[in-house]
A = this chain, B = another copy of it.
Amino acid sequence: MPNQKLILDGSRVAQEIKNNLLERVKRLTEKGVTPCLATILVGDDPASATYVRMKGNACNRLGIDSRRISLDKDTSTEELISVTQQLNEDPGVHGILLQHPVPSQIDERAAFESIRKDKDVDGVTMLGFAQNAFGLASYPSCTPAAIIAILDYYQIPIEGKHAIVVGRSPILGKPVSLMLLNRNATVTICHSKTVNLDKIVNSGDIVVAAVGKPKFIQGNWIREGAVVLDAGYNAGNVGDVDYEACLEKAGAITPVPAGVGPVTIAMLLKHTVDSAKAGNNLNLM
């Protein structure tokens, strides 16, 4: 299909995942287990509040319980950890999501680590990261998992392709690099200190933008026919990719919104349902 642009419709991928979950939630609920996701929001950042609300609403539409915990912006690390520990012990809660980022007085790493492994449906703990790196994770980080799910849905080959990941955060750039590597891509990880970023991006068959800067990836960086996945979501509904310019060059591209975002939420729901099922079959942890 030369010159045909493929728009990678995340809403469609998410819908398929959620259709499948609807059945699974129904069966679990009939057995007396209603999957439940607890979300923790610290502070009053409006974007974070929106994300948490979207996740809660998505749960409700599938019959998944959501428990929303809002903590004051002055919450200490210890206070936050005492909340996660209560949720760890609560048998009615199957997944815990701590909305990133937290206010600066909180040790985010310590807070993430306090989430019990079998409830870490967002894949933020160090053990979850390592399991993911070794291809052994129950619940890989949701955005990386969404990126892989989109590639798979559209049957875009990964093996032997050169993937360029721009960004190296612990919950996005690093895990998605390792997931692409485990799927036999050759992976280059770029960041703010990368020299000749334009040339390196231009060597990619697959480009993942995970940098957190609006319209950062330029159209003339993209190799003709490359696959572009935009994991960014910035103020004004803008991704990390200059969409119109990259669309000219790319063979396939995710839009923003309705690209990686909805699939990320669908993965979070899937992991919560997986955890509800696992917790009632096996006594994990």
Contacts and interface: CB of A to CB of B under 8 A. Distances in A.
Contacts of A168: 181
Interface string A155-196: 000011110000010100010011001001011111101110
A129 interface: yes
A175 B136 CA distance: 16
Q: State the copy count for this chain.
A: 2
A161 B133 CA distance: 24
Contacts of A181: 168, 174, 189, 191
A188 B191 contact: no
A109 interface: yes
Contacts of A127: 126-127, 130
A6 interface: no
Nearest to A203: B203
Interface string A4-43: 0000000000000000000000000000000000000000
A203 B204 CA distance: 13
A110 to B, nearest CB: 11
A190 B187 CA distance: 7
B170 A134 contact: yes
A151 interface: no
28 contacts: A109-B134, A126-B130, A126-B131, A127-B127, A127-B130, A129-B130, A129-B134, A130-B133, A133-B133, A133-B170, A134-B170, A159-B193, A160-B193, A161-B195, A162-B200, A174-B178, A181-B189, A181-B191, A184-B191, A186-B189, A186-B190, A186-B193, A186-B195, A187-B188, A187-B189, A188-B188, A188-B189, A189-B189
Given A134-B170, A186-B190, 6 more contacts: A109-B134, A127-B127, A160-B193, A162-B195, A181-B189, A188-B188
Interface of A: 109, 126-127, 129-131, 133-134, 136, 159-162, 168, 170, 174, 177-178, 181, 184, 186-191, 193-195, 200, 203
